[in-house]
Amino acid sequence: MAFIEINKNNLLHNIDIIQKTSNKEICAVIKDNAYGHGILQIAKILQEVGIKRVCVRNNMEAKLVQPFFEEILVFFPELTYNGMNISYTISDLKSLKKCRHKKIHLKFDTGMHRNALSLENLDEILEMAFKKFEVKGVFSHFCCSDEVGNDTFIQLQRFKELKNKVVEFCKKNNYEIPKFHIANSDAIFKLPKSDLFDYVRPGIALYGGMKNENLKPVMSLWGEAIKVMEIKKNQYVGYNKKYKFEKDTKVTLIDLGYSDGILYFDKELSLKETKAVGKISMDSVSVIGEYKKVCIFDDVREFVKNYPYTITYDILTKLKPNIKRVVV
């Protein structure tokens, strides 16, 4: 049976690098099944090392990890009441008016222009939010922190101005000052150490899926043999006869396909120690050689080179939850 190995030591290594680089508390992003790694498996490890706060996609994920953390920030919440250690992201005025849950984080647009509150309505938003809710945090998101340019620092300046206004408002009205956070994975390594934010929000950095030689990959994906075949010279394998063998070759059929989340290919694909050939099937892949099990990848940063038009996030998050995850 196909399986995913989660390298605990590599995850702990990445956490240590992030903490030393940022000198801030980590609010770990474990949304979308922990970027495909397994939300419960990752949550248990994070709890063991003292991570107290995480970010998830929705209420369902929040419920899964509720026993593990002091605070769980839901990015796309249902707006009904929920548990005491769960906070909701508020990113528009409609949600601010409709929300029935007490603890919130206000998300403001500093340049991403995607899904956040407008700074133009800041006074109205603060009056409404602090009067009605327990505002646990104020945050934003960078649009271009993975690129070289000024956009990140422009957004950082806007965030600084936002923070100053929020702090001034809280002091004037005797409200508790919320926590501030904006630094995602790339920003953690790009920005200088700063008192501007209280948390860092690493996602892909936790899992070693970004271009940083100090980080280690956490996931390896393995398929197991269905059968071994002898393919003769000048024969083909798979749909539409895309791959022709130049000599007699042993080929192993393994139990992973595009239904398991492997991205589509139609001729060949470089793997860790061999290559897959022919069109990928829904439930299987043919690889050159005789194996009992085959490593599809143990570093997604290398594997993504097969696919010039996608990113590591895409490969990791598409892997289906029904593939067994094993912590090693």
Give yes or no: 239 in active site.
yes
Tokens representing 287?
Answer: 């690889």
The closest of 105, 104, 107 to 119, measured between CA atoms, is: 107
Query: In a 3-state reduction of DSSP, which class is residue 110?
Result: coil
Residue 326 CA to residue 44 CA, distance in Å, equals 13
Give yes or no: 103 in active site.
no
- Of the residues 31, 107, 163, 279, only one is catalytic, namely 31
Residue 260 CA to residue 149 CA, distance in Å, equals 38
In this structure, are strands 3-6 and 219-231 parallel, antiparallel, or unpaired? antiparallel
Asked if residue 133 lies in contact with residue 125, where contact means CB atoms within 8 angstroms, the answer is no
Which residues does 168 contact at the CB level (< 8 Å), separation at least 6?
A: none
Q: For 324, what's the count of Cα atoms within 13 Å in the CB-facing half-sphere?
A: 9
From start to end of the chain, where are the E strands? 3-6, 25-29, 53-56, 71-74, 86-90, 103-107, 134-139, 179-183, 199-200, 219-231, 236-237, 243-244, 249-254, 268-270, 275-277, 285-288, 293-297, 324-327
Residue 86 CA to residue 152 CA, distance in Å, equals 29
Residue 161 CA to residue 142 CA, distance in Å, equals 15
The closest of 298, 219, 294 to 255, measured between CA atoms, is: 294
- Of the residues 94, 97, 98, 239, only one is catalytic, namely 239
Query: Residue 182 has what DSSP assignment?
Result: E
| Residue numbers annotated as active site | 31, 239
